[in-house]
Structure 1
Amino acid sequence: MFAPIMPKTGQRSLSPAGIILTVIAIALATLGQPVLGQQGHSPATHSATPATGAVNSNAEDWVMAAIRPELQESVRAAMPANLPVYEMSATLEPQAETGDVPTLTGHLKLTYVNTTDAPLDSLPFRLYANGPDDENDAQIVSDVTVDGGAVDVTLSVSDSVLDVLFNQPLDVGDLVVIDMEFASFLPIDSVDHYGIFGYGSTSGTWALAHWYPVIAGRDPSGGWMLEHPSRNGDAIFSDTALYDVTIHSEQGWELATTGIEFGETDAAGPGMVERRFASGPVRDFTIVADQDFEVATADVNGITVNSWFNPGQDRVGEAVLEYAIQSLEFFDDLLAPYPFRELDLMPVDMQGAAGSEFPGLIYMGLDYYTGNTDLATPNSLDFTVAHEVVHQWFYGLVGNNQYADAFIDEGITNYLSAQVYFEEVYGDDEAERIMNVHIRSPFERIIDGDGDVVVDTPTDEFDSGRDYVFAAYTKAPLGFEAIRLEIGDDAFFGALRDYVDEFSFLVAEPADLLAAFEASSGQDLQSLWDEWFNETNGRDALD
């Protein structure tokens, strides 16, 4: 995510409670009894099917469809074995029967292999949309089965954790198929989670991050991440999976998604169309939908870059396309080839953030498009686009637990987009200006005023959202700059390429990034790393 602005105060912008309850009641009639805590069901057993190669090979017809043809062999070789497969069918319901809350109803079929190191008694899913509001759920689930048999489930952590309980332990290497119905109710003009999930009443845009139940992310050291959805940083932490998604919508709707459209658009009843999308190996699957989007498109080394915008916003939409082309070309060469065939940039009415990253899809703050945005060089829009493009590598390809270690993707991304991108595209003087505006001056101002913080701190353990922003987006980039100056460009960028190569589609930790810098440079960098990321010696950097 791009450096968040402090969240706006005010009431959460859900539709009135009566409307929410009306729509939920209608959805329940369609879905059946929702999960409202532990439910009793007839016992069922899952098949103890050895799964070596079973999941990925079953998806042969679509799993590589979203990958650049020349990279398919290398991507397949780099993919972890037995990735989860999400097969989903969902319908966009702009007017959910008698209510007016935009709603998405769907079915999830998950093929899952236990790739952990121990048998599992249950599998935790995250319902991230339920995190912001302890009183009203934005997401409900029903009719959960494992291998066709009903099972018990539980809800916890403000109904943001759904545990699917197995009737017998799932052994390491064994496979199960989990089915469930779900409904997601879009908050209107929401300020929660920076507005990444909701309906924007001004633009008529559906922003559909975390719109479906997703397996909880698994930290390499800490295991399943089951904390309350983050209030300061990115809400979503999930592992790489494969997605085969079919969306039903009214005719005339434009959909931009993770991955690519796979196959033909088909009629699906009066006034409705059906479209199928395939993702390749990605960390989540995001959709943006609107009835009147326009698009500017370009080809970059075989990658289709789409800059979407509302009518009358072509000036900024075309600038976004230009900046995306520049940054994608640069980082495709500097770090590693971007493996996917498409990248979409979307105007979304975000709250407290200038942009947000998802696999193959980027949210750009709607304010850029509706205001008198300065397009002189250098400018903040260019910086934001570059920042979100770099996230396609750091978060997209190389994952990390943003709840625990947000600085290793946000910090390196902010440094690469402010300093490295601008010095390459516009020269040293322009890079210095952007670094001063977005990183050095805020660092000096906060150090002089509020003091220092430890960068490597869990996101929601900072005393304030401002401290989190300072640590991840301001101090951390200067720490990575210090490492670059210490070891030189060859070792610095060589380390980043090695890091991407080793941890693509996996979850890395801070020690892994430090090890890459040390291996590439042949130097012991622990003291320098601690100075910037584990200590509060920022004042020394100004002296």
Structure 2
Amino acid sequence: MKFKINLLNLTILTVFCLSLVLSLVFISNNILPSDSIMEGSDVISNPITSDYEDFKEGNFTGHEYSSFNLSLFLDEISSSVWGNLTVDFHNNDPVNFTRIPFHIYPSGMQYDSRAGYIDIINVTTLIEPKQELDFEVFSNNQLMWVNLTSELQPNNRTSFIIQFNTTLPDGGIDRANEHGWDHNKTRIFKFSNAYPQPCVYDEYDGWNTDPYLSTGDPFYFDMAYYDLIINVPENMIVAATGKLVKNQTLSGRTILHYNPEFPVREVTFSASRYFIVESSLYPDANVNISTFFLPKSYSLWHNFALTTAINAIDLYHTTFGDYCYSTFNVVEEYTHFGGMEYPLQVYATEAADYYSGQYSPEWYLETIIAHETAHQWFYNLLGVDEVDWGYLDEGIVCWVTDWYKDFYHPNWHIFEPYWGLDSLRYYFLGSGLPSKINQSVPECISSGTDYWYIGYTKTNTIFEKLRLTIGNDEFIQGLSTFFQDYYFDIADLTDLLNVFESSTGDSLDWFFYPWFNNPYLPNYQISNALYDVSTKLLDFTVFDINENLHQYSYSQVIPIQIFSEGSIMEFDEIKWINGTTEISIYIENVPEKIRLDYATLNEFVLFQASYYYMDYLEETNILITNQLIPGYNSLFLILSFSLLAILIIYKKSRLVTRY
């Protein structure tokens, strides 16, 4: 009887231990997250009424613009330009003005030994007897104010003349300069942003009186009619904004009269005794396209620069909309920039001759010309406040330049993959800097943001992601509609968003808000990975560890791969990841690892990399539920056989006791 009691206790203890083991290896899981997919909501924005069809034909009926007559005299010896700016200013804003500001930029430009400067000699009324007007000059801010004799009301005009003298900075560094030498036929005079330029009044800032900035393009101008008259020494070859309507030589001087015919945002000219000129007519738009370059650059520029300009004009004109002017010039320049855009005339650096980067000098020159030519569409015909929204036209133009390359040079594989993809992924890893796009140039400077990066790398890469998201045809059509809706007008990022929403018929807030406003990219992690053997469901969470740093949550598709033992692929599909996202996937076999695949290029996943060459994010810590954990099977068998043996012994012992 004693044996029977001990055996019963042992049996109870064995069953208890077995139950304890089983309780450790069985886990219940009732969480089944849905697969959230980003869907467009109803669009509430309406397309604006466009004047494109009228404007491209020169019909500006019902629209008033200011008019400027700029008369210039180039002094070759002193590298200075005497000028008269006759102003016929139209107030197209709903406020009264008592004074008007003008930018006088040259004193803010870089130089070698001779600083640039605009000396304002006087300001007088236009009507006889002429009356001097009071004006104030603030050299440190490159600004002057002209005080009016009476209040200028909306839809009214005022006229006056500004007499000035501009000293061109030397050194061949900035937008206006004189550089080069006569002995080797390399001297060039470049007159850009070198006359009093009227500031813009808008609803956001009032008068935009920002000083000259060495970061970005510090320009923001309204459309206006211009007449440009340039007096230069005889035999000087001039490239200037507009159609040459008069050419007269008197007493060793040549007087050239240029008329852009349609409104432009500003004018420029460049002069040299040594320019070689090549020209051709682009018949589809009746545009006379010309290149101006130095003899030293003949082998690179001859025919090649002109062909590139024609190709660019043709592609952009037929895709986005009319280039309505009758002339377009590409001019060689001295500069620390690659090039610079102005209405009807762009500049490309002479340093292309010596380019020794990853590609050839031809590649570099073609890139500059294609880029600056695209600014005729996105800067001149469609205007942007380049101080507050400079990234917008630069980002569009950088993408358009790459599209030009892909169109004419498909073997370059520009989008396979897009060069900006890895730049964005590894930017924070290398710099540690935030990179919010939607901020002004001064805000970039104060926040420690690299404007060159967001304007020339990040923004165009985000546009490439948008193209892949909404489709190539929809993206190109959106840019074309944007251009035509704001032809001869000024636009911003909200306008672009509204155009794309109207064009696609879907809300795109979910795309524009995070990608343009967040300072950091998403940094994904995988957590809470559970696999239920009974339901064959794998549940896990993809979360963004930067989410608390974002103003808006990111949404994008990411390829997800699931592998079972032996790296056998069980699942390979894309899923929408919307901020922190819970995912549930049916998997037939027990999974071993979960992978977010970043190497599938056509999905264009953007993320903040934790290390270089990060092609995927992997999670192997998957908790298996409703199944004995591997390694406990042997223990289970031992306990089971032990229990069976005890029961057999117990039964035999009872037989022995009974008999």
Query: TM-score band (shorter)?
Result: 0.7 to 0.9
8 Å contact 2:141–2:210 — kept in the other structure? no
Deviation at 1:125, TM superposition (A): 0.9
> Rg bigger for which structure?
2
Match of 1:107 in 2: 84
CA distance in 2, matches of 1:374, 1:323: 20
CA distance in 2, matches of 1:80, 1:399: 20
Match of 1:230 in 2: 213
- Specify which of 427, 444, 447 is matched with residue 428 of structure 2: 447
- Specify which of 413, 425, 433 is matched with residue 430 of structure 1: 413
After superposition, the Cα gap between the structure-2 partners of 1:531 and 1:428, relative to the gap in structure 1 and judged at 3 Å, is farther
Deviation at 1:190, TM superposition (A): 4.9
Deviation at 1:159, TM superposition (A): 5.1
User: Match for 2:83: what amino acid?
Assistant: G
User: Match for 2:253: what amino acid?
Assistant: M
Deviation at 1:75, TM superposition (A): 4.0
CA distance in 1, matches of 2:169, 2:342: 20
Q: Give the percent of matched residue pairs that are identical in Structure 1 and Structure 2.
A: 21
Deviation at 1:379, TM superposition (A): 2.4
Deviation at 1:298, TM superposition (A): 2.0
Structure 1: tracts of 5 or more residues without a match: 1-70, 97-101
Match of 2:368 in 1: 384
CA distance in 2, matches of 1:79, 1:121: 28
8 Å contact 2:123–2:162 — kept in the other structure? yes
Deviations 1:70-104 (CA, angstroms, capped at 9, x unpaired): x98634335872211111211100113xxxxx000
Deviation at 1:146, TM superposition (A): 3.0
User: Match for 1:415: what amino acid?
Assistant: W
Deviation at 1:339, TM superposition (A): 1.1
Larger mean CA deviation between 79-88 and 233-242 belongs to 79-88
Match of 2:161 in 1: 179
CA distance in 2, matches of 1:78, 1:482: 37
8 Å contact 1:248–1:275 — kept in the other structure? yes
Deviation at 1:443, TM superposition (A): 3.2
8 Å contact 1:218–1:239 — kept in the other structure? no
8 Å contact 1:531–1:537 — kept in the other structure? no
CA distance in 2, matches of 1:433, 1:273: 52
**Equivalent residue of 2:442, what SS?**
helix
After superposition, the Cα gap between the structure-2 partners of 1:104 and 1:313, relative to the gap in structure 1 and judged at 3 Å, is same
After superposition, the Cα gap between the structure-2 partners of 1:453 and 1:211, relative to the gap in structure 1 and judged at 3 Å, is same
User: Match for 1:484: what amino acid?
Assistant: R
After superposition, the Cα gap between the structure-2 partners of 1:307 and 1:386, relative to the gap in structure 1 and judged at 3 Å, is same
- Whether 2:166 is the aligned partner of 1:189: answer no
After superposition, the Cα gap between the structure-2 partners of 1:244 and 1:80, relative to the gap in structure 1 and judged at 3 Å, is farther
CA distance in 2, matches of 1:162, 1:271: 35
8 Å contact 1:423–1:429 — kept in the other structure? yes
After superposition, the Cα gap between the structure-2 partners of 1:216 and 1:473, relative to the gap in structure 1 and judged at 3 Å, is same
Match of 2:348 in 1: 364
**Equivalent residue of 1:179, what SS?**
strand
Deviation at 1:448, TM superposition (A): 2.2
8 Å contact 1:120–1:169 — kept in the other structure? yes
**Equivalent residue of 2:377, what SS?**
coil
Match of 2:252 in 1: 271
Match of 1:60 in 2: none
Deviation at 1:329, TM superposition (A): 0.9
Deviations 1:434-462 (CA, angstroms, capped at 9, x unpaired): 942xx344434423211431011111322
After superposition, the Cα gap between the structure-2 partners of 1:298 and 1:79, relative to the gap in structure 1 and judged at 3 Å, is farther
User: Match for 1:143: what amino acid?
Assistant: N
CA distance in 2, matches of 1:75, 1:162: 36
Match of 1:408 in 2: 392
TM-score by length of 1: 0.79
**Equivalent residue of 1:124, what SS?**
strand
Deviation at 1:220, TM superposition (A): 4.6
Deviation at 1:485, TM superposition (A): 1.5
Deviations 1:507-528 (CA, angstroms, capped at 9, x unpaired): 1111111111111011111121
* 1:56-135 alignment, distance < 5 Å: 74-77=56-59, 81-96=63-78, 102-132=79-109
Deviation at 1:230, TM superposition (A): 1.7
Match of 1:252 in 2: 235
8 Å contact 1:255–1:289 — kept in the other structure? yes
CA distance in 2, matches of 1:402, 1:214: 15
Deviation at 1:536, TM superposition (A): 2.4
Deviation at 1:237, TM superposition (A): 1.9
Match of 1:243 in 2: 226
After superposition, the Cα gap between the structure-2 partners of 1:152 and 1:389, relative to the gap in structure 1 and judged at 3 Å, is same
- Whether 2:125 is the aligned partner of 1:142: answer no
TM-score by length of 2: 0.66
- Whether 2:404 is the aligned partner of 1:421: answer yes
Structure 2: tracts of 5 or more residues without a match: 1-52, 524-605, 610-659
**Equivalent residue of 1:118, what SS?**
coil
8 Å contact 1:78–1:504 — kept in the other structure? no
CA distance in 1, matches of 2:210, 2:304: 39
Match of 2:458 in 1: 475
CA distance in 2, matches of 1:204, 1:232: 27
Deviation at 1:189, TM superposition (A): 0.7
Match of 1:38 in 2: none
8 Å contact 1:137–1:159 — kept in the other structure? no
CA distance in 1, matches of 2:416, 2:165: 47
Deviation at 1:310, TM superposition (A): 0.6
User: Match for 1:85: what amino acid?
Assistant: S
CA distance in 2, matches of 1:131, 1:220: 27
8 Å contact 1:157–1:228 — kept in the other structure? no
User: Match for 2:273: what amino acid?
Assistant: Q
After superposition, the Cα gap between the structure-2 partners of 1:473 and 1:278, relative to the gap in structure 1 and judged at 3 Å, is same
Match of 1:7 in 2: none
User: Match for 1:513: what amino acid?
Assistant: L
After superposition, the Cα gap between the structure-2 partners of 1:190 and 1:466, relative to the gap in structure 1 and judged at 3 Å, is farther
Match of 2:576 in 1: none
After superposition, the Cα gap between the structure-2 partners of 1:136 and 1:327, relative to the gap in structure 1 and judged at 3 Å, is closer
Match of 1:198 in 2: 177
User: Match for 1:345: what amino acid?
Assistant: V
CA distance in 1, matches of 2:491, 2:353: 35
User: Match for 2:443: what amino acid?
Assistant: E
Match of 2:47 in 1: none
After superposition, the Cα gap between the structure-2 partners of 1:423 and 1:411, relative to the gap in structure 1 and judged at 3 Å, is same
CA distance in 1, matches of 2:501, 2:93: 29
* 1:28-67 alignment, distance < 5 Å: none
CA distance in 1, matches of 2:287, 2:505: 36
Match of 2:599 in 1: none
CA distance in 1, matches of 2:76, 2:417: 41
After superposition, the Cα gap between the structure-2 partners of 1:330 and 1:288, relative to the gap in structure 1 and judged at 3 Å, is same
After superposition, the Cα gap between the structure-2 partners of 1:294 and 1:434, relative to the gap in structure 1 and judged at 3 Å, is farther
Deviation at 1:228, TM superposition (A): 1.6
